[in-house]
Amino acid sequence: MGRRAAECILHGIVTAVVVMMVLRAQRIRNPEARLRCWLFAMAVPLLGTPLFWLLSPWRLDEHFRDRWALFSASHSSPWAWHGVELATALAWLLAFAGAALFLRDVIPFVLDFARGRSVKRTATSPSAVLAGAVERAAAALSIALPRLTLLQSQHPILSCRGLRKPVIVASTGLCEMLSPDELAAAIAHEMAHVKHRDPMLGWGLMSVRALCFFNPAVQLAARAAAGEIERRADRSAACVVGNTRSLVDSLRKLAGSASASHLSRSWHRLRVAAIEERCQALLREKNTDPTAISPWMLLATAMGLGAILFLTVA
């Protein structure tokens, strides 16, 4: 069991490295394409590695390791300290790192979720500006009008929730803080999440993370995927409002005003840095970049990676 978990970690790391290098080498900047690549990186240790075990159990034999494997963790067996092999110690260390990454993200996620539920009771009717922004964004994105909930709260809250029937949740504090243009851009961002069914994807990502809590590569790939989901929504919102500057301003205002009461200081800093990176990307990039990575190229990469992983044994 331990060896299999170690192989999941090893395959996750190799896949994440290959995905990162391919994204750089092919200069892929489109969030949609990058998101698919990171989802692939998450799926490999979850589905690909167990498939290897199922179809070729002889991969784990010593004969295969010694004769064919590109890498076998068992080759480091002479290195031991007090009876604990180096490879085993390293696998445990990586598993702890994976669990730490998972907890670091899941705790604020749960706190955010609980906070959202607690303020739900004080809902009020949305203003005309807010309702108009939602209607315009829905029309521009060609989606059905989602339910809009306005919360009576001084905190600037804006999120897209709901798995089957998405709901846009905003607060009175948000409407007071943002100018109409900025509000329209922020709403367009959330409506883009509705269009791409991102709440469902977000829960899916979190489920995979919980399942592979010990795998640091899966945790990092999920973080990268979450970042691409946000970038994809940013791009869609910029297209809808036709004004990148107002979206950037709204993002910066929201990041700056995020309450630190429920977030640790370091987490808050990380969040602000991530949002600033998104703002810079929005200001730098054009929205006309198509996703033009060839499916044949993707297939060839996947096959090459599959061959490498087949020959990589924990």
Tell me the closest approach of the beta carbon of residue 194 to other proteins, in angstroms. Answer: 27
Buried b (16+ CB within 10 A) or exposed e, 127-146: eeebeebbebbbebbeeeeb
- Ramachandran bin of 162, using left for φ above 0, alpha for ψ from -120 to 50, beta for the remaining angles: left
Note whether 119 binds other proteins by CB under 8 A: no
Of 16-24, 44-52, 184-192, 255-263, the window that binds other proteins (rule: CB under 8 A) is 16-24
Answer for which of 208, 225, 240, 305 binds other proteins (CB under 8 A) is 305
Q: State which of positions 128-187 bind other proteins (CB under 8 A).
A: none
Answer for which of 55, 80, 100, 110 binds other proteins (CB under 8 A) is 80
The crossing angle, in degrees rounded to 10, of helices 2-25 and 216-241 is: 40
Closest CA to 234 of 276, 262, 272: 276
- C-alpha dist (Å) from residue 196 to 119, 293, 295: 26, 20, 21
Note whether 93 binds other proteins by CB under 8 A: no
Note whether 27 binds other proteins by CB under 8 A: yes
Answer for which of 72, 149, 244, 250 binds other proteins (CB under 8 A) is 72
Note whether 69 binds other proteins by CB under 8 A: yes
Note whether 77 binds other proteins by CB under 8 A: yes
Note whether 294 binds other proteins by CB under 8 A: yes
Note whether 74 binds other proteins by CB under 8 A: yes
Buried b (16+ CB within 10 A) or exposed e, 66-103: eeebeebbeeeeeeeeeeebebbebbeebbebbeebbe
CB 73 within 8 A of CB 87: yes
Nearer to other proteins, 185 or 309 (CB): 309
Note whether 2 binds other proteins by CB under 8 A: no
Phi then psi for residue 61, to 5 deg, are -70, 150
Question: Which residues form the interface with other proteins (CB under 8 A)?
Answer: 14, 17-18, 21-22, 25-30, 33, 61-63, 65-67, 69-72, 74-80, 83, 288-294, 296-297, 300-301, 304-305, 308, 311-312
